[in-house]
Amino acid sequence: MAIKNILALVVLVSILGVSVAISFPNLDLNYYKSKCPDAEGIVRNVTEKFVVPQKSLAAALLRMHFHDCFVRGCDASLLLKSPTKNAERDAIPNLSVRGYEVVDAAKAALEEKCPGVVSCADVLSIVARDAVLVIGGPWWAVPLGRRDGRISRKSEANLPSPFADIATLKKNFTDKGLSVKDLVVLSGAHTIGISTCGLVNPRIYNFTANNGPDPAMNPSYVGELKKRCKPTDSSTTVDMDPGSVDKFDIDYFKAVAQRKGLFVSDSALLNDRQTSRYITTQLAFGGIFSTFNKDFAESMVKLGKLEVLTGNNGEIRAKCGSVN
Ligand code: HEM
Ligand SMILES: *[C@@H]1O[C@H](CO)[C@@H](O)[C@H](O)[C@H]1NC(C)=O
Ligand SMILES: *[C@@H]1O[C@H](CO)[C@@H](O)[C@H](O)[C@H]1NC(C)=O
Ligand SMILES: *[C@@H]1O[C@H](CO)[C@@H](O)[C@H](O)[C@H]1NC(C)=O
Ligand SMILES: CC(=O)N[C@H]1CO[C@H](CO)[C@@H](O)[C@@H]1O
């Protein structure tokens, strides 16, 4: 082939390549296959090292991914530190976010093997998946190729409220392109983890005009919560799925069905036909036909694709806490 033809071919291929990249900014399961083949193994090893001895970190890491993706997309904006405490991680819903050290350690291990290649946004997405696996949850293939954002603003850290009703929650999820099914499935993440009493107390001490608890709550559960959460104590923690807080299972749906959902937003899942039917279906026949693990995997992949930066957008951070 003449040099001219080869050049023409190169130009054509690169034009096609660019237009494909522009019109389909898709993530790719094999994104690091040639650039950093061990990427996922490296992240898994680090995640296991942290989560196996400290199971409660799994919940923290899963929640971290959710919070990152819901604000400015899955671009690791949550991980950026601000000297003036004005970044997402400084916002109230993030005060109880834990586990930054796991992501930092995984990123450091990657930088040693393949510097400047794997984004913090991808690291967080893989870490969340692996953390769920460690505590007996499902595994899913994580599409990769996200790039890291350069902006993180406290004022933008608007997350669904634990006091939200079902209409609000549905709107919050569908506004992001997630479905009502994703809402109930992903709420199932509350099968693991803890909450601080500060978010629980208004519901058990101060919900009605005459200082009664939320009537949607099981009275015996209110009693149990009151033993642990004293009215002026906002920092003590309670398990969201009592009895199996470190186990990824369908017990959260059991709790919600028994009106023992911890937050208004958990109980609210009983107030919609589609979400309540999902819960009933998962629990039928003792849960032996439950599709929760498979559904969760699918919804996590969707969550992980929210407003991602690809192509030439964003950057690959050297350190997850700061822009390059
Ligand atoms: C549907 C709307 C949601 C609301 C209103 C909500 C609200 C909350 C709140 C208030 C807490 C306790 C935080 C604290 O004590 O400061 C919490 C914890 C948690 N959330 Fe959600 N959440 C929602 C959806 C999700 C989703 C989609 C996921 C993940 C897929 C998730 C995963 C978690 C986990 C794992 C914890 C426990 C964290 C830990 O133990 O450190 N949540 N959530
Ligand atoms: C992960 O850890 C195992 C066991 O220590 C080791 O054999 C393997 O090489 C590690 N994988 C990577 C990709 O570092
Ligand atoms: C959820 O929806 C309510 C009602 O429209 C809105 O006020 C709130 O900002 C939304 N929150 C998120 C995280 O989108
Ligand atoms: C209930 O709410 C009112 C008004 O917001 C507040 O003054 C009061 O201290 C609260 N009581 C409890 C027990 O939290
Ligand atoms: C884990 C983390 O970075 N938490 C921060 C959340 O925001 C508060 C208030 O700015 C900080 O003090 C915490 O360090």
65 is in an annotated binding site: no
How confident is the model at residue 55, as a pLDDT?
Answer: 96
Residue partners of 139: CB distance under 8 A and separation at least 6: 129, 132, 133, 297
14 is in an annotated binding site: no
Question: Could you list the active site residues?
Answer: 67
CA gap 288, 144 in Å, rounded? 33
pLDDT at 233 over 60: yes
pLDDT, mean over the chain:
93
Residue with tokens 């799925």: 241
241 is in an annotated binding site: yes
Whole-structure pTM value: 0.91
First to last CA, the chain: 43
Residue with tokens 């009933």: 280
Residue 150: phi and psi, rounded to 5, are -110, 0
The number of residues in the chain equals 324
Report the nearest-CA residue for atom 1 of ligand 2: 45
Region 37-42: what's the mean pLDDT?
98
Cα 40 to middle of ligand 3, angstroms: 35
How confident is the model at residue 5, as a pLDDT?
Answer: 54
Tokens for 135, please give them: 């505590």
Q: Which long-range contacts (CB under 8 A, 24 or more apart) does 35-42 make?
A: 35/114, 35/117, 36/110, 36/113, 36/114, 36/117, 36/118, 38/113, 38/114, 39/110, 39/113, 39/114, 39/117, 39/118, 39/122, 39/126, 39/144, 40/126, 40/142, 42/106, 42/109, 42/110, 42/113
Q: Strands 237-239 and 194-196: what pairing?
A: antiparallel
pLDDT at 3 over 80: no
160 within ligand 3 shell (Cβ under 6 A):
yes
Tokens for 223, please give them: 């009693």
pLDDT at 60 over 50: yes
CATH topology of domain 166-300: Peroxidase; domain 2 (1.10.420)
CA of 98, closest atom in ligand 5? 1
SS3 assignment for 266-322:
HHHHHHCHHHHHHHHHHHHHHHCCCCHHHHHHHHHHHHCCCCCECCCCCECCCECCE
CATH class of the domain at 3-158: mainly alpha
pLDDT at 307 over 90: yes
Cβ atoms of 36 and 114 closer than 8 Å: yes
Cα 190 to middle of ligand 4, angstroms: 27
How confident is the model at residue 144, as a pLDDT?
Answer: 98
Region 77-100: what's the mean pLDDT?
89
Shared fold status for 3-158 and 166-300: no
- Classify 147 as helix, strand or coil: strand
CA gap 258, 172 in Å, rounded? 25
Cα 81 to middle of ligand 5, angstroms: 9
- Enumerate the domain spans of the chain: 3-158, 166-300
